Structure 1
């Protein structure tokens, strides 16, 4: 009888944990502005180190929440002001085994760090639109984003 009680408690704890994980995911999706993506956390082994999760657009930030986590805070926060896309490519090597065929890998730079994120091809279009829809930046701060409008008067 004691073994059945322990097994029942373990099963109940496992179900409670699964419920908490899926409830957290549901809460993140309720506000809208969420996408499925993967962020490369570890680059030690070529093609590995990808972490699946949800990206949540909040103002000028893309907040990355790991898929199978109980954490309320995001794992990473990407600021639109300092984020540039350096390269766009298809998954290669072992990446093809862990990502759906229609996903694209983006190599980004945020400040002085490089970062790789992967998302569906249709999501890439929306992500790039969000990235370009931000307010204009100083032309010397980051390359690739022209600033429109009148030029300042020269003295």
Structure 2
């Protein structure tokens, strides 16, 4: 009985350590910024999920801190993306509403995000058939 409990505790500690290492690797990886994401119309502090955002091939990839895979959970295309609202939400974070998705990030990360949106080539918004 004691070995089963010890094995289960050891497995839980190993899983927790791997998740902490994954979160640290995501946060420290080149080209990524800490970013919170909220999908849907929920209001208030609830609904925000912590993760990192990376810019890749005209998309913003959001990867959650809690998880196993390094794949993005959300890919937000730059084409047609508009910021409908921007507000400070406390703790040094700024939130931007982009349709059904809201992103919260530091002021420096927000400046980079807005520059990324504005730096799209003019032809990026043309639908060429």
Structure 1 and Structure 2 fold alike (TM over 0.5): yes
Given that 1:41 and 1:51 are in contact with CA atoms closer than 8 Å, whether structure 2 keeps it comes out as: no
Structure 2 partner of 1:118: 104
Distance 1:136 1:17 in 2: 47
Structure 2 partner of 1:55: 53
Q: Deviations over 1:56-96 (max 9, x none)?
A: 222211111111111332110011112111110122xxxx5
Structure 2 partner of 1:9: 7
Given that 2:79 and 2:124 are in contact with CA atoms closer than 8 Å, whether structure 1 keeps it comes out as: no
Distance 2:93 2:121 in 1: 28
Q: 1:118 to 1:29 in 2, by over 3 A?
A: closer
What TM-score, normalized to structure 1? 0.70
Distance 1:33 1:70 in 2: 20
After the TM superposition, which parts of structure 1 deviate over 2 Å for at least 4 consecutive aligned residues?
22-31, 41-44, 137-141
Please say which structure displays the higher CA radius of gyration.
Answer: 1
Structure 2 unaligned segments of length 5 or more: list them: none
2:70 matches 1:72: yes
Aligned length: 126
Shift of 1:42: 4.9
Shift of 1:124: 0.4
Q: Which has the higher contact order (CA 8 A, sep 6+)?
A: 2
Q: 1:43 to 1:17 in 2, by over 3 A?
A: farther
Q: Deviations over 1:27-49 (max 9, x none)?
A: 445651101011113544x3121
Let me know the Cα RMSD of the aligned residues: 2.3
The 3-state SS of whatever aligns with 1:81 is coil
Shift of 1:23: 3.2
